[in-house]
Amino acid sequence: MKITGVELRRVELPLVSPFRTSFAVEHSRNALLVRVVTPGAEGWGECVSIDEPVYSSEYTDGAIDVLRRFLIPAVTNGDDVTAVAVAPRLAHIKGHRMAKAALEAAVLDAELRSAGMSLASRLGGTATSVPVGVSVGIKDDIGALLDEVSGYLESGYGRIKLKIQPGWDVEPVAAVRDRWGPRLPLQVDANTAYTPADLRHLTRLDEYDLLLIEQPFDEEDIASHARLRQISTTPVCLDESILSAAGAADAITRGAVDIVNIKPGRVGGYLEAARIHDVCAAHGIPVWCGGMLETGIGRAANLALASLPGFTLPGDISSSARYFHTDITEPFVAQDGRMTVPTGPGIGVTPLTDALAALTTWSEWITGP
């Protein structure tokens, strides 16, 4: 497949309400989209980086720079390229997995559209719909938290994830459990907010029968996650620590993980995400698909990934309306806690022309050789 050009485009989607985690408060989703144009079709990918390097070392201005100067030339120069060949062509560039994932996704989308194959089929997906949950950010008070959780449950979400940090952990979990009881599937996500000194404190969450605690410690601190598994009854889920299939295998071997959250952007793309799924399945480790406030472009691709058989836990792939007043694609809607997997060629969706134009804040066209 010959790439004739690549477009980088930034879009800004205001959030319905601010989304607060242990590392930032987001008021809008400033997404970077990658459009790959070939003689047969064009494909779309979404870079999940955010504006500042606080979730990971990547940030959107840096992603634009590395795409423009290094990654795009590596795939547009020379012979035709396939999606499988993208990662090897980019291997000499260290890191920048989110930028690489967006470019690979766009190439993969174009390739599959030309072939008339869906992304779910290409990855090995089997489900036609997948269970989805909702992520609830840190609130100013317990009352606001309970009101928001109540609204999501009334909307049909079957699983609730609470963002936590030191000072906002046991109390909000206890309040939600007290209100809705032990039958509500409930999990927490710390986004690396704790240190080894908090190990004993985190065991206080055991009495609330959580599905899991996600990434309490620094991404490089595998030992503390392994130690928490030894002293706690709450399953430990790794997110930021898992950057590749090899990394997943290492964490499993070291006894540091019960469950893995797979975010395609974090691991370098959907092909590597599928490999992580395969490694975890071989070791009996459940996986689920995380979210990064994606637009409909990333949301569609995440649904395709979540259709693989090892994704047995609800993913963070909420309805478009959970985050945005207006999406750049037709909105995704969860019904009875499930969402339909797109079946059209590629990711199965394309941006709406008017919405894309209205929400675009910058674009650049890079011509192939």
Q: Annotated catalytic residue: which of 100, 139, 161, 163? A: 163
Instruction: Give the pLDDT confidence of 330-348 residue by residue, as tens digits.
Output: 999 999 899 999 999 999 9
Name the one residue in this structure whose structure tokens are 């012979």: 79
The whole-number pLDDT of residue 17 equals 86
pLDDT band per the 50, 70, 90 thresholds, residue 369 = low
94 labelled catalytic: no
pTM of the full structure: 0.94
Per-residue pLDDT, averaged over 2-9, amounts to 95
Q: Annotated catalytic residue: which of 100, 139, 161, 263? A: 263
Per-residue pLDDT, averaged over 275-297, amounts to 97
pLDDT band per the 50, 70, 90 thresholds, residue 1 = confident
Domains defined for the chain, CATH in brackets = 5-116+349-367 (3.30.390.10), 121-340 (3.20.20.120)
Q: What is the token pair recorded at 321?
A: 């309306």
